[in-house]
Chain A
Amino acid sequence: MTIMALAPLVAIVGGALLVLLLEAFLRKADDEIPATAAVLALFAAGFLIVRSWGLELGYFGGRLSLDPLALLLMAVFVLIAAFVILMSLKYAPGQGIGLGQLCGLLLIAVAGLMIMVSSTDWLIVFLGLEVLSVASYALTGLKRDSRDSSEAAAKYFLMGSFAGAFFVFGLALIFGASGRLDFAGTLSAGPAAMAGLGLITAALFFKIAIVPFHMWAPDVYEGAPTPVTAFLTIAPKAAGLAVLFRVLVPIMGGRPAGALFVPAVSVAAVLTMFVGNLSALRQKSVKRLLAYSAIAHSGYLLVAIVAGDGPSLVFYLIAYMFMNAGAFSVLAALSGKGIEHTSLEDLSGLGRRHPWLAASLAVFLLSLAGIPPTAGFLGKFYIFGSAVREGHIVLAVAAVLASLISVAYYLKVIVVMYMHDATIDVTLERENPALYLVVFLCLFGVLELGIWPGNLLIIIRQAVTGLF
């Protein structure tokens, strides 16, 4: 029990306040100063996270605890936030977005995520969830000149509030039934608490875009500024799944709740994979295609929850961060002043026009499709493999068939890039070193984790296996 457990969080929140102050008092032209401050805050948080490794710090009577799972995911959040800021340095001014606002909101969202993954108490999870949600609504609507962006923000807000209500109602049921709000209390309580848990699960399913709670996702992901989409498809998903993992896995092992939750979550996983992938098949916009693919990936990740395999879940989340952030960073690189080039047609002939960007995007897409030797393949291998080991063979067969469908649309993008001639001439307006750094790091991550994950795999296994 030490206040040091709050250190990474304090670094982020302090950074957020500093960024917002700087943004308010500096002139518009000095946008990069707040961004620099934000990156420094992220660095500080990252340093503190690494320092906390192995210390098992806790606060609030253990309600906020920095266990290895929390620390791993916090590192993921810091990394993805840094990627998003680097992607936005040129993108944000080009689209008329205040870079400072974006950075400030992003840090607040990260703070919410950190609270979510490190708490063992429903009320604190809710606190984190709401901090995250409010920041995400604002982030989605940052492109104020774009109707799509505003519409997406409104949709996200309405649907998100609805889900928040579910969450609170579930919380009330749990508290009424057991008189406790910590995770452990839920596990031992009776049917009313189970109903409450069902409602909370639905609310979290909404956050990570699980069918049938996914309706908002394609519009929001498509309407939001591209770097924000990268963030929204990865970070809230990771946090929601971490909470689900902490709560559902112990429950699914026991009876009678297991008999209820295992089939329910399995069906949700299968539906999510198939609805996401089948809808993606018909998309004409790459951004929307990736939005549906993000839904499908929630389904794959849910398979890891059903199998109760924490290490695979975390490994896939990290792999997914690299490949998805990489894909969106290439899309961000293609945006021009005031416009985005995200339709399939815009990518035609990209293999000739920008061979490096096209090759990178191809690698990210192949990884998303789960083709070796990429991180996406290894991630799927571990998740589906543990599903089979736990006896969920039908689920695994459904999962591999769903990923077969996904191969068709990821390859469709590659077909357009390499096998169609350019129909329009899109040239990049300027050099963008920060963004290329993100592309490179993601490329490195995807290949490194696919071929030689070495230490990371060991760290994850040690960290997450000893959780219960």
Chain B
Amino acid sequence: MNASIAGLPIISLVTFLPLAGAALLIFVRGEAVKAVRAVAMAVSLLTFALSLLMFFGFSGASGLPEFVERASWLGRGLDYHVGVDGISLFLVLLAAFLTPLALLSSRRAIDDRVKEFCIFMLLLETGMIGVFVSLNLFLFYIFWEAMLIPMYFLIGMWGGRRRIYATMKFVLFTMFGSVLMLVGIFVLHAAYYRATGSFSLTIADLAATSFSPATQTWLFLAFGLAFAIKIPLFPLHTWLPDAHVEAPTAGSVLLAAVLLKMGAYGFLRLGIPLFPRAAAHFAPALSILAVIGIIYGGLMALVQKDMKSLVAYSSVSHMGLIMLAVFSLNFEATEGALYQMLNHGLSTGALFLCVGVLYERTHTRLIRDYGGAAGRMPVFAGLFLVIMLSSAGLPGLNGFVGEILCLFGVFTSNKVLAVLAVSTVILAAAYLLWLYRRVMQGPLKDPDDQRLRDVNGRELAYLVPIVILIVFMGLFPGGILRKMDASVTRYIDVLKNKPGLAMTSSVPSRPALEAAAVVEPER
């Protein structure tokens, strides 16, 4: 497998180019705002270009990670080991695609300490991409934790009135999960050593090892808690509305579009493949929580007065569907979940950008302060409508493809939950269309208000690419799904062949269960 394109270590470049950009920015004078913005934008665009290069070079035939780079780092299994497969490829692309757009969107909103802002955005990009490309559990954890810090600063320094409360809550909630995951990593490290006599934290090695049921249960709970908080799964979602409402637009965009995906990605990459037996055991409970999240998030979104918290609760609802699909543990649902992760990233990210556009004009996010904006902002109204309908899952747009795949998959494993999950479509249509009616239609709230000008070139530059992608991914999902197929097939095959996992149809035999109990439980 080639590790590079045209001799370049492509993954390392995509991951660390933003970091290098941030380091460069330290030495640019803070007063030279234009130069700072130009450097940050150039670096993030270059990163995106490189990630596109990666995308086109990605074959996706084998289902194994490609462009793998591996180097020994700290010894004892703590290696530098990166690569992308069909599961992580698009999440890397999503992060690389949205960062320049988020930077562009903040050009007017952020005018204080621009240099620091750009540095933290670039650090965040490195952290996000690093999480998705890591093939070593230690490296994964480093990025997973390190990424919190730039987000902490972004919310805390440029956020709204209750920013400090929100950012502390965000960090402490997330960290609570991840410190327990850290203990889980220690246990895995020790258990792997005991089972094989050598050190490794390579995710593939760990997944190939069977751990005893008790170990699996505890480890799944430790890892699962970290991921469930990040997603966030009901009832661990309370940090999310606070963080979203207080964060600056660019922060909200990346938080919703990429950070939440890390939780679902964590289940797909670690939680389920490493501890399949425990995952199967807890899948019904987690599925029920996911369905509660779908309905609860949708109902909460209906009653929000603030546009940002409406979008935040819609995230809870949408992520619930993704989780439900992930825990259906079959091919359609998994692929649907992956596709829906991209859709949610694009449409929710774009919704936050739209709220940002309105907020920059009127400095209010309360729905009741708006009305009839479409009359003054026709172009914006059109874009907003497409984005909103994508989020609501209208056929022809990307959201529909993802939702239908998810629901098909869920239906084959549990019909009751599938029926309940369909409510996500109804609720989303309800709160989004109602939002649109109240903000965009009807009489103009204040006819003398001259502030509602239509979108300018800069705003078009970051909204139009997303809208184009939304339409494209709705009409031609094949190209993207094809690159995922091999990896998802492999993922499902491994789960099916791994002893001890109760799949929908096959119940493992007794000897298979005992084979899973090779490794002794931890003390």
Contacts and interface: CB of A to CB of B under 8 A. Distances in A.
A8 to B, nearest CB: 30
B149 A388 contact: no
A403 to B, nearest CB: 7
Contact of B186 (A366, A373, A396): A396
Interface string B163-189: 110001001100110011011011101
A397 B116 CA distance: 35
A418 interface: yes
A404 B182 contact: no
A21 interface: no
Given A401-B179, A411-B171, A453-B74, A388 B157 contact: no
B142 interface: yes
B145 A388 contact: no
B146 A372 contact: yes
Given A372-B146, A400-B182, A408-B172, A457 B74 contact: yes
B179 A408 contact: no
A51 to B, nearest CB: 28
Contacts of B113: 352
A407 interface: yes
Contacts of B141: 372
Contacts of A401: 179
B7 interface: no
Interface string B492-523: 00000000000000000000000000000011
A432 B70 CA distance: 44
A205 interface: no
Contact of A393 (B185, B187, B193): B187
A400 B180 contact: yes
Interface string A368-398: 0001110001100100110111010100110
A400 B184 CA distance: 11
Contacts of A1: none
Contacts of A372: 141-142, 145-146
Contacts of A26: none
Contacts of B49: none
B175 A404 contact: yes
Interface in B172-218: 172, 175-176, 179-180, 182-183, 185-187, 189-190, 193
B105 to A, nearest CB: 22
B168 A384 contact: no
B172 A404 contact: yes
Contacts of A400: 179-180, 182-183
A24 B209 CA distance: 70
Contacts of A271: none
Nearest to A390: B190
Interface residues of A, number: 31
A418 B142 contact: no
B488 to A, nearest CB: 30
Nearest to B112: A352
A259 interface: no
A418 B153 contact: yes
Contacts, number: 76
Given A373-B142, A415-B156, A407 B172 contact: yes
A393 B523 CA distance: 7
A397 to B, nearest CB: 6
A396 B523 CA distance: 12
A419 interface: yes
B183 A371 contact: no
A352 B164 CA distance: 17
B523 A391 contact: yes
B384 interface: no
B522 A404 contact: no
Contacts of A391: 522-523
B197 to A, nearest CB: 14
Interface in A413-434: 415, 418-419
B75 interface: yes
Contact of B182 (A351, A384, A407, A419): A384
B145 A403 contact: no
A411 B74 contact: no
A352 B187 CA distance: 43
Give the interface size bracket for B toward A. 20 to 34
Given A371-B146, A411-B171, A419 B190 contact: no
Nearest to A397: B183
A411 B152 CA distance: 9
Interface string B11-43: 000000000000000000010000000000000
A42 B153 CA distance: 40
Contacts of A384: 182-183, 186
Contacts of B116: 351
A377 B183 contact: no
Given A372-B142, A372-B145, A403-B179, A415 B189 contact: no
Contacts of A403: 179
Given A366-B149, A419-B164, A389 B190 contact: yes
A401 B176 CA distance: 8
Contacts of A387: 186
Contacts of B522: 391, 393
B440 interface: no
A366 B153 CA distance: 12
B168 A415 contact: yes
Nearest to A378: B74
B148 interface: yes
Contacts of A355: 30
A271 to B, nearest CB: 19
Given A408-B172, A415-B156, A453-B74, A397 B180 contact: yes
B116, B168, B185, B186, most chain A CB atoms within 10 A: B186
A87 to B, nearest CB: 24
Given A372-B141, A415-B156, A388 B187 contact: yes
Given A372-B141, A385-B189, A400-B179, A419 B156 contact: yes
A396 B189 CA distance: 14
Nearest to B179: A400
A158 B361 CA distance: 67
A393 B182 CA distance: 12
B180 A407 contact: no
A404 B189 contact: no
B110 to A, nearest CB: 15
Contact of B176 (A371, A378, A404, A457): A404
Contacts of A373: 142, 146
A388 B186 contact: yes
Contact of A388 (B156, B176, B190): B190
Contact of B157 (A371, A378, A418): A418
A396 B193 CA distance: 18
Nearest to B176: A404
Contacts of A418: 153, 156-157
A371 B156 contact: no
A206 to B, nearest CB: 30
A366 B123 CA distance: 15
Contact of A415 (B30, B74, B164, B193): B164
A377 B145 contact: yes
A393 B183 contact: yes
Given A404-B175, A419-B163, A385 B156 contact: no
Interface string A331-348: 000000000000000000
| 5 nearest CB pairs, A to B | A388-B186, A400-B179, A372-B142, A391-B523, A389-B190
18 contacts: A351-B116, A371-B145, A372-B146, A384-B183, A385-B185, A388-B186, A393-B523, A397-B183, A400-B183, A401-B179, A404-B176, A407-B175, A408-B172, A411-B152, A415-B168, A419-B156, A419-B157, A457-B74
Given A372-B146, A381-B182, 10 more contacts: A371-B146, A372-B141, A377-B142, A396-B183, A400-B183, A401-B179, A418-B153, A418-B157, A419-B157, A419-B164
Interface of B: 30, 74-75, 113, 116, 141-142, 145-146, 148-149, 152-153, 156-157, 163-164, 168, 171-172, 175-176, 179-180, 182-183, 185-187, 189-190, 193, 522-523
